[in-house]
Amino acid sequence: MKQPGNEPQMNTDHPWFDPSLGTRERVDTLVGAMTLREKIAQMLHEAPPIPRLGVPAYNWWNECLHGVARAGQATVFPQAIGMAATFDAPLVFRVFDAIADEARAKHHQAAKQGNRKIYFGLTYWTPNINLFRDPRWGRGQETYGEDPYLTARLAVAACTAMQGDDPKHLKLVATPKHFAVHSGPEPLRHTFDAVVSERDLRETYLPHFKAAVQEGKAASVMGAYNRTLGEPCCGSRRLLQTILREEWGFEGYVVSDCWAIKDFHMHHKVTKTREESVALAVRNGCDLNCGDAYGALLDAVKEGLVTEAEIDVSVKRLFEARMRLGLFDPEEKVPYAAIPPSVVRCPKHLDLALETARKSIVLLKNDGVLPLSRNLNVIGVVGPNADNKTAMLANYHGFSPNVVTVADGILDRLSVGSEMTTGTGCHLYRDEPVLEGAHRFRVRPRTDAIVAVLGNTTELEGEEGGVALSDGGGDRVRIGLPGRQRELLEALHAQGKPIVLVVLSGSPIDLSDVAPYCNAILYAWYPGEQGGNAVADVIFGDCNPSGRLPVTLVRSLDQLPPFEDYAMAGRTYRFMTEAPQYRFGFGLSYTRFAYANLALDVPGRAAAGPQAVMQPTDTVEVGVEVSNAGERDGDEVVQLYVSDVEASVPVPRLHLEGFARVSLKAGETRRLTFTLKPEQLVCYRDDGTPFLEPGDFRISVGGGQPDDPASGAVSALLTLVSEA
């Protein structure tokens, strides 16, 4: 059969190309026909073709954190941290379903052109579900925030959407990463040992990975660069074998982070040679090597460090994934192969990108200045991020020919009788004069309002080695506004005009000394190609802001333990005792919401009410009435928190265990119901063993954390008793 492009002609007259056979039979037959050298070559991310067996080349490395990345045109959705701010798992599912459609269309078109290179495959190293435990981490933007429950729900949505619902074929392969206990510091990731207690490991660092594997059915997992409790994560028997495969029943393949295997001997010093490193990784369950270290497996076999039978296990896992993707089936047998190229950046996906960006924007402050009228005489739009396309994107992004900046969006929505003035006002990060020279911006007497667009870009935060301007090797060493941005805000405030601050950033910024100079603050993250339209829609009231913080905004770094400390004490809303500036789950609206009639119902027991008793085998239905008590339609993010008030072991102060986004017309009331399962009430012994302890639990439901007066939260008491 003639192949397109410059590919060698392949003979597909082999049993592994027969879709009527079982997957395992096809895989066993194919791997059995391969030489040891051929098997080893297939364990590298850039797997070469095997013409004699009809096996085409395949590159395993692909990225899609917020759209297909690095592979030409694709819809650029808000970065993952922005998706997390929507608190909307069904929306995240729709986003990744769209991403998977574009990935499939791009793959098949590229294959027709003979392009089997990097970023055009079907195995995606997404989602990043590490916890954003410290605001300094440059890659926190790639995550779903600081909470294990929120991360788990969004991870499951992403994985199930990416992999599709066809009973025989995967749409894509989802790869939750980086397993496990990984979140900076970036410059230390090749040498660092993340030391955690067994309680923190099981209570905080693993639950969302477990959900992605067991509920999301992720077909792949990526290991982390660092060590965890002494073992390099990409060669950890405990992580990859005991926990992942034996405890959780994972049957997919594990891929190393890129060039992580060489760290074993070069930096972690747990092995002495390349051969020892690759043997350790394969024996302990790392099947695929991003990099070239596995080229040493042939010598490792000769030295008796690993056997061909152990290599076969990994190779079979890899080819099972390729078979499930339909890469050895006729295209007419693979439903996803029919997705047309026209789906890429189609109107439906652009609308979805806009919807996601709108729902991600968090209103942190509003003294009544918002929403603005479209019929202003003059509006000033100023700041280094005001007309900065880079600030709309994030790391691992795709390419759009029509990125809409904040200035673009505002101008497009202004009355034709209005005027907009623009300027940078200051440099993003350099110590250059404010409102002078290249940054000149004049506030006119007729100016009605100023929108200051400040914050970060991926020039200042991101991955180690990829952010040349970061003081922390990708991380931030300071979490205030960069450069002289605060000075710019002070100078604008001195003009006596209403000021709306729009923050573009992938991470929390300390706004404690900034808020007094603003009438309103919008946190818009890195909102993607439609971000400017979304910000403008919120500013002018076409969209009621409804995003909620997926991370805590601390007052200063003094509120946090050292970055290198992976203990959870004092970190995130679950364990912080000091009041931050803005709480996890916080966000304002242009309307008001009220909560009433919280009731707990344990089926088969007493009638529902503000108190309930349950046994360890019961589930609890939590019902609450939510009302839009204002004059505007809007979305509320209803949040359920659990507090164990009688625990005999250390437990989180409170923890999120349910959330739902609900759209309510002005004056509308709706009753929502959440289900609490016994496993959501467990605490952990010192050895990490979960157990249910009799006692009282406070169940709180509101528009934020129960200790935030603005949340309107109502509470009920749940008592867990031992079975009679």
Q: What is the CATH number of the domain that holds 239?
A: 3.20.20.300
pLDDT at 611: 87
Burial string for 460-485 (b: 16+ CB within 10 Å, else e) reads: bbbbbeebeebebbbbbeebbbbbbb
- Pairing between β-strand 520-523 and β-strand 362-366 as defined by DSSP bridges: antiparallel
**Using CA atoms, how far apart are residues 227 and 566, in angstroms rounded to an integer?**
12
Give the residue-averaged pLDDT of 160-187.
Answer: 97
Residues 569 and 609 in one domain: no
* Amino acid letter, residue 423: G
For the stretch 186-237, pLDDT in tens is 999 999 999 999 999 999 999 999 999 999 999 999 999 999 999 999 999 9
**217: burial class by Cβ within 10 Å (0-12, 13-18, 19+)?**
middle
Question: Is 174:159 a contact under the CB 8 Å cutoff?
Answer: yes
How many C-beta atoms lie closer than 10 Å to residue 588's C-beta? 22
Residues 509 and 556 in one domain: yes
The pair of three-digit structure tokens given for residue 299, joined into one six-digit string: 């010598």
pLDDT at 7: 57
Q: Is the pLDDT of residue 4 over 60?
A: no
Q: Give the domain CATH number at 681.
A: 2.60.40.10
CA distances from 203 to 229, 519, 560, 646 (A): 16, 40, 20, 18
Q: Is the pLDDT of residue 468 over 90?
A: no
Within a domain: 587: no
The pair of three-digit structure tokens given for residue 656, joined into one six-digit string: 């999120």
Q: Look at 289-303, 405-419, 456-470, 707-721 and tell me which has the smallest mean pLDDT.
A: 456-470
Residues 607 and 547 in one domain: no
**Using CA atoms, how far apart are residues 324 and 317, in angstroms rounded to an integer?**
11
Question: Is 160:113 a contact under the CB 8 Å cutoff?
Answer: no
**Using CA atoms, how far apart are residues 368 and 372, in angstroms rounded to an integer?**
9
The pair of three-digit structure tokens given for residue 561, joined into one six-digit string: 């333990």
pLDDT at 8: 58
**Using CA atoms, how far apart are residues 540 and 664, in angstroms rounded to an integer?**
20
How many C-beta atoms lie closer than 10 Å to residue 402's C-beta? 10
What is the value of pTM for the model shown? 0.97
Query: Which of residues 544, 575, 606 is at a domain's end?
Result: 575
Burial string for 1-11 (b: 16+ CB within 10 Å, else e) reads: eeeeeebeebe
Instruction: Tell me the pLDDT of the chain averaged across its residues.
Output: 96
Kindly name the residue from 461, 464, 618, 635 that is annotated as catalytic: 461
Q: Is the pLDDT of residue 283 over 50?
A: yes
Residues 452 and 505 in one domain: yes
Residues 598 and 647 in one domain: yes
Q: Does 631 participate in catalysis according to the annotation?
A: no
pLDDT at 448: 97
Give the residue-averaged pLDDT of 341-352.
Answer: 98
- Pairing between β-strand 447-455 and β-strand 499-504 as defined by DSSP bridges: parallel
**Using CA atoms, how far apart are residues 716 and 641, in angstroms rounded to an integer?**
11
Q: Give the domain CATH number at 457.
A: 3.40.50.1700
CA distances from 292 to 243, 636, 642 (A): 27, 49, 47
The pair of three-digit structure tokens given for residue 357, joined into one six-digit string: 């960006």
Quote the percentage of the chain above a pLDDT of 70.
98
**575: burial class by Cβ within 10 Å (0-12, 13-18, 19+)?**
buried
Within a domain: 322: yes
Q: Is the pLDDT of residue 1 over 80?
A: no
**Using CA atoms, how far apart are residues 652 and 650, in angstroms rounded to an integer?**
7
Give the residue-averaged pLDDT of 572-588.
Answer: 97
Kindly name the residue from 257, 263, 408, 475 that is annotated as catalytic: 257
Within a domain: 8: no
Give the residue-averaged pLDDT of 294-323.
Answer: 98
Query: Which of residues 575, 602, 627 is at a domain's end?
Result: 575
Q: Does 257 participate in catalysis according to the annotation?
A: yes
Where in the sequence is the domain holding 659, given as residue range(s)? 593-720
pLDDT-based confidence at residue 603 (cuts at 50, 70, 90):
confident
Q: Closest by alpha carbon to 129, among 115, 145, 117, 113?
A: 145
Q: Is the pLDDT of residue 515 over 50?
A: yes
Which residues, in sequence order, are CB contacts of 167 under 8 Å at separation 6+?
A: none
Q: Closest by alpha carbon to 498, among 611, 368, 610, 585?
A: 368
Question: Is 61:121 a contact under the CB 8 Å cutoff?
Answer: yes
> In degrees rounded to 5, what are phi and psi of residue 475?
-85, 170
Angle at 621 between CA 616 and CA 624, to 5 degrees: 140
pLDDT-based confidence at residue 467 (cuts at 50, 70, 90):
confident
Residues 394 and 490 in one domain: yes
Which contacts (CB < 8 Å, 24+ apart) does range 11-18 have? 11/51, 11/52, 11/53, 11/54, 12/54, 13/54, 14/53, 14/54, 16/53, 16/54, 16/323, 16/328, 17/54, 17/328, 17/329
**Using CA atoms, how far apart are residues 86 and 357, in angstroms rounded to an integer?**
8
Query: Which of residues 521, 544, 575 is at a domain's end?
Result: 575
Within a domain: 588: no
For the stretch 650-659, pLDDT in tens is 999 999 999 9
Give the residue-averaged pLDDT of 547-569.
Answer: 97
The pair of three-digit structure tokens given for residue 459, joined into one six-digit string: 């020039």
For the stretch 5-28, pLDDT in tens is 555 567 788 999 999 999 999 999
Which residues, in sequence order, are CB contacts of 216 under 8 Å at separation 6+?
A: 155, 156, 157, 158, 159, 160, 163, 174, 176
Q: Look at 224-238, 275-289, 601-615, 665-679 and tell me which has the smallest mean pLDDT.
A: 601-615
DSSP 17: G
Residues 520 and 418 in one domain: yes
Within a domain: 3: no
Helices (H), 520-604: 531-539, 572-575
Most confident of 222-236, 453-467, 601-615: 222-236
Residues 314 and 261 in one domain: yes
Residues 390 and 297 in one domain: no
Q: Is the pLDDT of residue 3 over 70?
A: no
How many C-beta atoms lie closer than 10 Å to residue 496's C-beta? 9
The pair of three-digit structure tokens given for residue 552, joined into one six-digit string: 């805590």
Count how many domains the chain has.
3
Q: Is the pLDDT of residue 2 over 70?
A: no
Within a domain: 15: no
**Using CA atoms, how far apart are residues 309 and 86, in angstroms rounded to an integer?**
47
Residues 381 and 494 in one domain: yes
Within a domain: 129: yes
Which residues, in sequence order, are CB contacts of 47 under 8 Å at separation 6+?
A: 41, 57, 58, 59, 60
Residues 543 and 625 in one domain: no
Residues pairing with 185 in the sheet: none
Length of the chain: 724
Is omega for the bond preceding 340 within 30 degrees of 0, making it cis? no
Within a domain: 7: no
Residues 218 and 145 in one domain: yes
Quote the percentage of the chain above a pLDDT of 90.
95
**Using CA atoms, how far apart are residues 203 and 34, in angstroms rounded to an integer?**
44
Give the residue-averaged pLDDT of 167-185.
Answer: 97
Question: Is 225:189 a contact under the CB 8 Å cutoff?
Answer: yes
